[in-house]
Amino acid sequence: MPPLPPHDENNPRPKPPFWRNPWLLGLLFGLVTVTSIRPCMRRVPQAPPVGPSVGSFSLVDQEGRPFGHENLKGHVWIGGQFNTRPAHKSAVIEALLKLQAEAKKEKKNTRLLGFSNDPGFDTPERIKAFGQATGFDFSRVTLLTGSTTDLSRLANGPLKPVDEFDPPPPSFDKKPPPKAKTKAKSAAGRQKMMQRPMRHKPLVIIDHTGHLRGHYATDRWGIDEAFHRSLHVAKAK
């Protein structure tokens, strides 16, 4: 093997091109790896079980067109009850607006459904004006009014909001409660950890056959869960 040439300070060795820098190559490899495995690491909720049917009903939409159980077929809906009289937007209306924006952002054909709580006041003209002022896109949002009997049955049956306890966090059984100085404090700490928040869930998913697929809250966790579960219901049909 021939000896290396002597080091010449006046004629230094040329630097390697920047793309051969090992730090740069490592950074690019890490970015590509993390980006490619990210979809596999995301927890996506599974399709909820099939619940009871919403039953037959005969209502009208914001255009005055008839809308009944048959119109539910072929689409997956996220819906809830709404009011037009209060000056402020209700939690359900805010949730439907967020779901509408999320569906547009993700380019999903998610359908949204609103059932009037005040059919005696809410004529098709009123709910249409309300929807336009609220910012609803009627190509994906349908507001319903009409029969007091049918809306009352839906409001007190399939669409009735539920209050449920959240399940305990996944790490509850893995991490023991923190140690307390006294037995009384330890018991109080365990009791506090056992308490789970009660959540109000006025949103529902209705599948393409008119069956319920669970109730959901109007906070950001409930909205995200309802949106992604509705996508799984749509894929499973």
Q: What is the pLDDT of residues 196-230, one digit of tens each?
A: 567 789 999 999 999 999 999 999 999 999 999 99
The pLDDT assigned to 164 comes to 75
Instruction: Write the CB contacts of 49 (distance below 8 Å, at least 6 apart in sequence).
Output: 213, 214
Q: Structural domains in the chain?
A: 71-163+198-236 (3.40.30.10)
Determine the pLDDT at residue 179: 54
Q: What is the residue whose two structure tokens read 């009735």? A: 160
CA distances from 17 to 21, 24, 37, 78, 184 (A): 7, 11, 30, 56, 68
Residue 22 pLDDT grade (very low, low, confident, very high; cuts 50, 70, 90)? confident
**Statement: residue 172 has pLDDT above 50:** no
pLDDT digit string (tens) for 150-166? 999 999 999 999 887 76
Q: Where are the beta strands (DSSP E) in the chain?
A: 58-60, 66-68, 77-82, 111-116, 141-146, 162-165, 198-201, 203-206, 212-216
pLDDT digits (tens, 9 = 90+) for 110-133: 999 999 999 999 999 999 999 999
Tally of CB atoms within 10 A around 225: 19
Higher pLDDT, 236 or 21: 236
